[in-house]
Structure 1
Amino acid sequence: MATDYDTPRKTDDDVNEDSIEELKSRRNDKSASAVDVDEFEAVEGLELPGADLSNEELSVRVLPRQADEFTCMSCFLVHHRSQLAGEKNGQPICRDCE
């Protein structure tokens, strides 16, 4: 069946739509029922630059470099041997820095 896209697409539901004023009042009612969230709670855990962290302890376990890892002499990151691109001036270089 062919569809004529130039014909108006109004249905019976469109004719019985609410007025603009009713739609606006419904929108205002919905926004009034929204729950207010205290933004201070979300910001409470953030640290400011220059904050005193002398009493803080590391919660991450740091492992020494493993036998199958190397330190890139360009970015100074520890990579797996599979990321070794070659050597530059006798120093190992990773694929990202190559």
Structure 2
Amino acid sequence: MASESAAPVAMSEAERAKEIAQLKAGKTAAMANMVDEAETPLAEEYVLPGGEAPQEEASVEILPEQADEFTCASCFMVRHRTQLVREDNGQKFCSECEG
């Protein structure tokens, strides 16, 4: 009467590597033919970064510089007049750039 033991069988590293390679090859070949049909519509709708996004128009109202604002000559940000620190030859500088 034959009995199976739970003890591990001693294998050389070469045999173990060969067996692992055979298992990986069989698993890859078996899985290559499997396609999950439920995920197909989801994959078709997914846009990769840098891919083409749907064309949407943004509506942004651009206002001209107001009387109480100035454009900083260093950072080119439109700032409120309370942030004006220095004016030199008609160029205005904000408190953050002169800070």
Which TM-score band applies after superposition, normalised by the shorter structure?
0.3 to 0.5
| Structure with more of its chain in helix, by fraction | 2
Q: TM-score, normalised by structure 2?
A: 0.42
Larger radius of gyration: 2
